[in-house]
Amino acid sequence: MIYMRGLLGLLAGALVVLSACANSFTQADVNYFQPPIISTSAPAKPLRESWNLSNNTARVGLAEMRPLVPAYAGAGALLVSWNPHAGGTRDRLTFIVTHGGHGLTPTNFATALWLQRTFDANVLILDAYWSRGIEENWKTGTRYGASMRSLDAIAAARWLRDTQRTDPGKTFLLGDSQGGWTVLRTFTNEGYWQDEVRTLFRGGLALYPVCKENGTAQYPRLGPYVAPVIVFTGGRDTATPADECRRTVLTAATRWINYPDQTHGWDVANRGAHSPAVDGECGRAMNVYNQFPVCRSNSTTNDMREKIRSFVRETISY
């Protein structure tokens, strides 16, 4: 009996080791999570022609989407809207804005405008889907998920540092929904990339993020984090409910703010980046698997933005 218990203990230990190895990111994972770049142009009317790209770029003074950023492994270029400050990129804050599962939407461009104006910053709006021939990732747990998106974020930060001479010590990654998931995954102490992430980013901002984990490559570990991270969640969010998160995914963040009465996407640009949002208006996501409610709240958006201002200023003063 003692021998059997010892043998079982050894087997359990071996399983733990094997499990840890299985969960370690490798070059094989890079190959899997870097689907080929197949397009060099953005759709004029994305996501089933539900909105107009030029209204949210050229019309509001943001750069058009162009294939500028070499993908993580160097095969093809990611589409981005790169908006360097007119006075030069150096010694300024830089924000990389990454999208949710619906792909880039007017909300991302509206957020980019706010960041640009509020912080007098350089802003890069990063696409992960259009350049790979898809418009959405509603299934979530695919090769187009958090790990692919983290590699894209690293690739964008490399390009900014090496070719645009931005300051990594003043560079932040912001994402909403699956983009928020990207932020959490990028800053997780993942051995494969954590040292590089420390040299590329100052911090992360995750808005109503996906935070599902199940030990698979498609739903990888989140946290603890290697740089300051702020997380925002909504108590009425049925798309990415906070109670699905492992508690330490949220508490390991530098700050975690929960708005009990808010749905997913309280900052939605429901009239496009070129027009003021309609406060209190509710709609439904186009997600065919979960048509969750999205309700605009000006007061919550303003409060979140004030907390982002404080977080950024406190972080770069460390």
Q: Is 193 domain-assigned?
A: yes
Does 19 map to a domain?
no
Residue 105: inside a domain: yes
In a domain, 55, yes or no: yes
109 in any annotated domain: yes
CATH number at residue 274: 3.40.50.1820
Which stretches of the chain are assigned E, i.e. beta strand?
A: 66-70, 77-83, 94-98, 122-126, 171-176, 203-207, 229-234, 255-259, 282-284, 293-295
pLDDT of residue 2: 33
Contact 316, 202 (CB under 8 A): yes
Is 212 inside a domain boundary? Answer: yes
Alpha-carbon distance 194 to 227, whole Å? 9
Q: What is the pLDDT of residue 11?
A: 33
pLDDT for the residue 309: 98
For the chain, residues with pLDDT lower than 50 are: 1-22
**pLDDT for the residue 24:** 84
Does 6 reside within a domain?
no
Number of compact structural domains in the chain: 1
CB 183 within 8 A of CB 230: no
Instruction: Calculate the dihedral angle through the C-alpha atoms of 264, 236, 275, 205, rounding to the nearest 10 degrees.
Output: -50
d(CA 98, CA 108): 7
Q: Write out the residue range of the structural domain in which residue 157 sits.
A: 33-316
Buried b / exposed e along 217-243 (16+ C-beta atoms within 10 A): bbbbbbbebbbbbbbbbbeebebbbbe
Cα angle value 188/160/151 (rounded, 5°): 35
